[in-house]
Amino acid sequence: MARSKIKKSLIGLHQKYGATLRGRYTKSYLTLKQKRKCPKCGSRRFRRTALGIWSCPKCQHIVASGAYNFVTKKV
Ligand SMILES: [Zn+2]
């Protein structure tokens, strides 16, 4: 018998706040923590430093973009 997979929706919030909200939280959290390439030097250490501010520690390149994702949807 195959063992059931542990759901990713359990990151951080254990049994709190309800399934829908946990799902939303997990989705945005995982997009936030994805590995990204720096648009200037191509380093994989490119990450968010503050809400809407993305920076590369290698080449000090700072860009303003989305709150949880670097590439935002175009309206
Ligand atoms: Zn860089």
Give the domains, in start order, of the chain with CATH numbers. Answer: 9-64 (2.20.25.30)
- Confidence at residue 7, expressed as pLDDT on a 0 to 100 scale: 57
Interval between CA 62 and ligand 1 midpoint (Å): 9
CA distance 62 to 48: 9
Residues bordering ligand 1, an ion, CB closer than 5 Å: 38, 40-41, 43, 56, 58-59, 61
- Confidence at residue 73, expressed as pLDDT on a 0 to 100 scale: 78
Interval between CA 55 and ligand 1 midpoint (Å): 8
Interval between CA 66 and ligand 1 midpoint (Å): 18
Query: What is the pLDDT tens value at each position of the chain, 75 positions in all?
Result: 566 665 555 567 778 888 888 888 888 888 898 899 998 898 999 999 999 999 999 999 999 988 888 888 777
- Confidence at residue 26, expressed as pLDDT on a 0 to 100 scale: 86
